[in-house]
Amino acid sequence: AISTAAFAEDTVTKVTPTVAAPVLSGEVSLDFAETAANDIGGTMNLELGVDMGGLATVDLNFVGQDGSAIDLDTWAVGTTVAGVGVAIGDDLGVMPGAEGEQTLAAPAMAEAVQVTVGDAVVAVGLTDWSTDVTDVSNIQGAYTMNVANLDVTAAADYNLDSENTVLGAGVGGLDLGLASVGGAMTYDMDAETFGYEAVATSMGITAYLNGDDTDALQNIGGDYAVDVAGATFTAGAN
């Protein structure tokens, strides 16, 4: 429930605590892509987000397209007390990501319970939380550290069914003056596949390049964002 509340102490001075209000955000996008008939087709997409932080955290993301209903895409609810955060939702994976993410390994994680303590975070994936919350599908862990002014993240995913491990690493915060550079890489131990992505941002332009061990240059793309009177307009291509 998203609401506001106030209480008064039984003294001369009444106390009205500050309650965090939910933040509503949204995005409308026009996407164009090649169709099976080698034509160019377009879609209008809508994204809505409801976020609230503080003692209680709520993260709801809705999506829809022209002519369709709006659906709840991802959700997470939790709380943080004394530096320890606990959350449950279906978008709580901790593997490092990047801008395009076409070549990075992305171990599936449905609903999960996530625990955060300082710079360490662990997510326990549930096979089907609506029927058995004790049936664990996979476990992910990540730790972020600051090394020479760089934010370096090491992560891993272990699947209890396939016994496969996926390793991941992410780097961000490299300031080159005109641009900031970061990226991520993953390695799937069973498939023996390596994927990477490099990302650079400068003056509203974000560009990325990614590939894997079989094709080092698979995708190049990016976008340009400009703020006009509080609204952000973005154009991009891959």
Is 96 strand, coil or helix? Answer: coil
Contact indicator for 50, 83 with CB cutoff of 8 Å: no
Residue 4 scores a pLDDT above 70: no
Contact indicator for 207, 222 with CB cutoff of 8 Å: yes
φ, ψ of residue 39 in degrees (nearest 5): -100, 175
Residue 16 scores a pLDDT above 90: no
Q: What is the pLDDT of residue 9?
A: 46
Rounded to the nearest 5 percent, the helix, strand and coil shares of the chain are 0, 60, 40
Q: What does the pLDDT look like over 63-116, one tens digit per residue?
A: 998 888 899 999 999 998 888 999 999 989 999 988 998 999 999 999 999 999
DSSP 163-207: --EEEEEEEEEEE-SS-EEEEEEEEETTTTEEEEEEEEEETTEEE
